[in-house]
Every structure is written in structure tokens, then in C-alpha cells.
Structure 1
Amino acid sequence: MILFATTVYPQKGEILFFQTNWGNTLSWDAFCERAKASGFDGIDVWLPNEAESQQQLNAALKKHDLKLNLMHGTDNSLPFEESLEAYKKKLYVLVSWKPVVINSQTGSDFFSMEQNTAFIKAANAISKETGIPIYHETHRGRFSYTLPITLDYLKKISDLRLTADISHWMVVHESLLEGRDAMLSDVIAKTDHIHARVGHAESPQVNDPKAPEWKRAVDRHLDIWEKVIRKFWAENDRPMTVTSEFGPPYYMPALPYTQLPVSDQWEANVYMMNIIKQRLGLD
């Protein structure tokens, strides 16, 4: 049996930064070692199914003194009732790890509002029962795939808390959401976690956030993230959590034929952490 330590939070006014394992090919030990050396406080992962891999993950977290966020999502390949039961069952497995945050890619853009609401309410009930925060990510293909529709859910479900991944909405709405700050303010008020990836009108991920041609997009995301973080700090006595979430190909554009990524995913995620720290005077 694997035993997990209860999360201990730092003081107010801080941010915990997490490195995604999306696209990772390293062992858990090597991945955690590199994340720690790069300055991350923890890692953000989909829990592996295999018991041996889970044991290796737990050992690496302890060895390198890293915190854990866990990913979850609705299985849209199943019929609604079956999918809902599977969703709840897996959430109970995830909360047993006592992560800092569970991030949920919840529901489906093909489910009705009532069906999606059932997933949200199930997660919120389990969060209340266990004390583990479960946040619902703004994500294409999920209940929250557009800004206006997400606002409808926020009006309906008072305890709905969000992970803001604004990059998805940039491409869905084919804009940097300029002129939509009034609408975004309601989302900002309900956001407790951030996925720090920079999107633009044609894609949920720029090829390299350091490139000067993406400065406007990067600055727009930073403007929104800063509002989220400062509001969170003002209202909570625990740190904000941020996952640097630039992904591998084919989120990362790749060259034809060779399929080589056009820039370095790890470097992009470290860069996102550092520019957020600089923006907030934490560097």
C-alpha cells in the first residue's frame, strides 16, 4: 500500500509552479530531478494506471521533494451514465494521493447542459467531501469550450471553480479576447488555477513564446494571468498554483516529414514560469 503525505502550503502571496509531464519520455526519477533543477515546485501529471509506475512516481516525488497536481477528464467515448460513474470512481482514486490540485477536463461540448452539470456537481461534491481542490479547465471540446457558454455555467453553479487555460479560447474565438475584459472578469473571479500556455487566433500554442512576433499574445495572457493571481492572493491565505503547459508535437508545431518540433518544449515551460515571476516581482 502506498502512503501519501498531506500537502503543506507555503504562505500567502506565493505561487507554486508545476511542470507538466505531457509528452515526457524520461523515467519518473529523471523527470522529477530535471523539474526540481529547473525551479519547479511540483509536477502536473495524468496518474499512470500501472502499480509499478505509480510506485516509481511516488518515490520520485519524495526523493526530489516535489508537490503533485493530478489531471482528470470525462471519457467522451462512453455513454453519459457510464461515463459519469467512471469519472466519479477515478476521482476517488486521485484524491487518495492528496494532490495540491486536481484539474478536470470536464464534460463534453456534445453533452447537454444538464449532463455537463452532473459531472461538475459530482466533482464539487467529492472535493467538498475530501478537502481536495478540484478545478474545471476551460478547454476545447468540454463544457467550457467558449467564454459565453462558460459564463452560463458560472451563473448556474455557484461553487464552480475554474482552471483558466485561456489559450483555448484564443483560438476558439479567433482573437486575443481584446475588448472582452468585462466578460473575462467573471471568469477571473472564479479561477483558482492557471495553465500557462500562450495561444493565438489560429492555434492554442505559439511555436516559441520567446519569439518577438508573439509579444502581443504573450503580454495579453500575462495581463489576464496577473489579474487572476492578484485577485486570488487578495482573497485566499494559500498560494496560487500555475502549471507551465506548453505541449509536445502536435501542439508544438513540427517540421514536415521529420516531425521535429520547431522549438524546445521544456525550455518554453521554464520560460513561462520565469516571465510570470518577473511580472509579479517574484524573481
Structure 2
Amino acid sequence: MNERVNLIVDGGSKPPRIEIHQSWWAMNGIGRGGKEWSIEEKFEKIAEAGFTGIMAHLPKEKEAEQWRRLLDEYSFNFGIHSFPRKPEDITELLKEAKQFGVLYVNSQVMDSFVMGQQAVELLQGLVEEARLADMPYTVETHRGRVTQDLHRTVDYVKAIPDLRLTIDLSHYIVAGELTAAASKELEMAGKLFDVLLQRTSSIHARISNGEQVQVDIGPNAEHSMVEPFMKWWQQGMSYWLDEAKAGAVLPFVTELGPPDYAITESKYAGGERLEISDRWEQALLLKRLGEEAWKRAIENHKT
């Protein structure tokens, strides 16, 4: 593991690259004709769409064999979630992840009531567990977790030089009620975002309007918050490129959650709330936006 920056690497010699992954959680309820796709169909659709990996929980027992077969069949890279409350919570998980061939482990660190020096020590302990396991490790910027607050998360990053982040700024946009109309507030938040973006090791793609954490951005990405998010994603990618060496991978994960993340209509169909969006089509649109942000980052990095 790179002791200086702890980037995600695949052990290969390819130039630093982005990989567009799909969140497995975001596939909940996805299908056609009122029928959810099977596991095999979901893998097939994800591959057909041009994704190169999946982020999910580490599969267990009987499910693990099926997942390993499908991941190998489609040559997918694989990142996993975790929700630790103490460093020892990931000790065994990191070992199992390495044995399974996981690319990296991401944590939403519990919980939002852990603050200050207690939170710093918790995060330092998690980073140390990952170092000992020689497993690339990221902490997600997420509400309801240690990273609940933008200001305190900036403090944690400053206190822990080896802390690497999965960037999901939708949480801070909605928590701060930052809208496209609030240009002064967005500019102020952007300065703090910049501190976090310098630790980018992964990006979760979801766009907030400052009132809802996940919104439909329109069929052609015409929503007013698209460009600010594109700017932040590009900046995080640029910082990552400054540090990345051969074999480094930047996972860009489209992560549009099912209800209650997804906005629903008041009408019900068979007892189920109807989503206002085609979540799969929106995921494909976010995939294209991620590719465009990467293209901009590469072009700017060359100049």
C-alpha cells in the first residue's frame, strides 16, 4: 500500500484511470415491465451499459460463489460498504475482502453523535486497521455518520493526513440547504469542499438541489445543480491525478437509491409508491456526466 496517499490500486501497470461503477443498492427494484431484474440480469445490464464495476456489501456463504463467478465473467472490479462503530469492526472484514479480491473498502462511520477528538481517534484507528491489512480504504462523506457536518469533517481531514475520502457532496448540499440560487453560500461551501476534494479516492454520483438529497436532473442534465456538481467532481479528479501513479483506480459510483431516497408520487401501485424518475436512465446519465468530468480533468491536467 502507498503509505503516502493510500490510493486505490489494482496492482497493474496501466496509467491512472477512472472506472465507472454502479451501486448494487441502487439496483433495488430496477427492472422492466413491473418485474425486477434477477441478479444475473442486473450484472448483464450493468455490463451492457459500459460500467466496469459494482459497489455492494461483501457477499456471504452461498451468495459469495455466485458473485465471484459473475464478477469474473464480466471482469468487474468490486468495492464494498461497511458501517463500523470501532476499528475492530472492520478487522475481519478487511481480511475477508482481501481474500475475495475486493478492490477497496468504503466506510460510513457510525455515528453522528461521535465528535471531536473521539471521532479523530476512531477514524485514525480505522485507517490504521486498513494499513495493517494492506487494503485501500475510504471514508464516505455522509449524513448521520461521523462525517455528518461539513465543518467537522474538514477538521478530521486536517487532523489525519492519511484519511482518504469517498466524496458524496449531495449530503452537505442538502444538510446546508444550499441551492443554485444561494450563490454566496455555495461559494463559501466550495472553499470547504476543496479541502475534502484534495483527499478524493472515490466519488459517489448523486445530485441534490439543497432540499432533497436525490433529484431527477432531467433527460439531458438540464438541472441547475448539475454544473456545480460537475465542477466539484472535476476538481476532485484533478487532485487525484496529481497524486496517482500507475495502477491507480478512481471509482466513480453512480448511486441513486430506491425510496425513501428516490422521490415518489402520492399514488400507489399495488401497495408500492411510484418513483417520479426512471432511476436506471438517470444512472446512465450520471455515468455520462462522470465521463465528461473526467475528460475535462484530463485535459486540464495536461495544460
| Partner residue in 2 for 1:3 | none
Of 133, 146, 152, the residue aligned with 2:155 is: 152
Q: Which has the higher contact order (CA 8 A, sep 6+)?
A: 2
Q: Matches of 1:225 and 1:107 in 2, distance apart?
A: 25
2:289 is equivalent to residue 278 of structure 1: no
2:48 is equivalent to residue 29 of structure 1: no
Q: Matches of 1:209 and 1:8 in 2, distance apart?
A: 36
| Partner residue in 2 for 1:241 | 251
Return closer, same or farther for 1:84/1:131 CA change in 2, 3 Å cut-off. closer
Of 50, 63, 73, the residue aligned with 2:83 is: 73
| Partner residue in 2 for 1:63 | 73
Q: Matches of 1:212 and 1:241 in 2, distance apart?
A: 23
User: 5+ unaligned residues in a row in structure 2: which ranges?
Assistant: 1-8, 29-35, 180-184, 297-303
Q: What SS does the aligned partner of 2:106 have?
A: strand
TM-score, L = length of structure 1: 0.86
Q: What SS does the aligned partner of 1:18 have?
A: strand
Matching residue's letter, 2:217: P
Of 224, 231, 237, the residue aligned with 1:229 is: 237
Matching residue's letter, 1:35: I
Cα shift readout 1:2-21 (whole Å, capped 9, x = no counterpart): xxxx9454733521111011
Cα shift readout 1:49-83 (whole Å, capped 9, x = no counterpart): 4x1111111111011111101111125xxxxxxx5
Q: What SS does the aligned partner of 1:149 have?
A: helix
The Cα shift of 1:201 comes to 1.1
Say if 2:94 and 2:135, in contact at 8 Å, map to a contact too: no
Matching residue's letter, 1:201: G
Q: Matches of 1:40 and 1:9 in 2, distance apart?
A: 19
The Cα shift of 1:154 comes to 1.2
Deviates more, 1:104-113 or 1:25-34: 25-34
Structural mapping, 1:243-262, within 5 Å: 243-258=253-268, 259-262=273-276
Matching residue's letter, 1:64: Y
The Cα shift of 1:275 comes to 1.6
| Partner residue in 1 for 2:108 | 105
Q: What SS does the aligned partner of 1:99 have?
A: coil
Return closer, same or farther for 1:192/1:84 CA change in 2, 3 Å cut-off. closer
Deviates more, 1:252-261 or 1:7-16: 7-16
| Partner residue in 2 for 1:205 | 214
| Partner residue in 2 for 1:85 | 88
Q: Matches of 1:235 and 1:56 in 2, distance apart?
A: 36
Q: Matches of 1:84 and 1:204 in 2, distance apart?
A: 29
2:283 is equivalent to residue 269 of structure 1: yes
User: 5+ unaligned residues in a row in structure 1: which ranges?
Assistant: 1-5, 76-82
Cα shift readout 1:15-44 (whole Å, capped 9, x = no counterpart): 111101114354432221111111001001
Return closer, same or farther for 1:14/1:30 CA change in 2, 3 Å cut-off. same
Return closer, same or farther for 1:43/1:212 CA change in 2, 3 Å cut-off. closer
2:63 is equivalent to residue 53 of structure 1: yes
The Cα shift of 1:214 comes to 5.7
Q: Matches of 2:87 and 2:15 in 1, distance apart?
A: 35
| Partner residue in 1 for 2:174 | 171
Q: What SS does the aligned partner of 1:52 have?
A: helix
TM-score, L = length of structure 2: 0.81
Return closer, same or farther for 1:229/1:9 CA change in 2, 3 Å cut-off. farther
The Cα shift of 1:85 comes to 3.4
Q: Matches of 1:116 and 1:98 in 2, distance apart?
A: 30
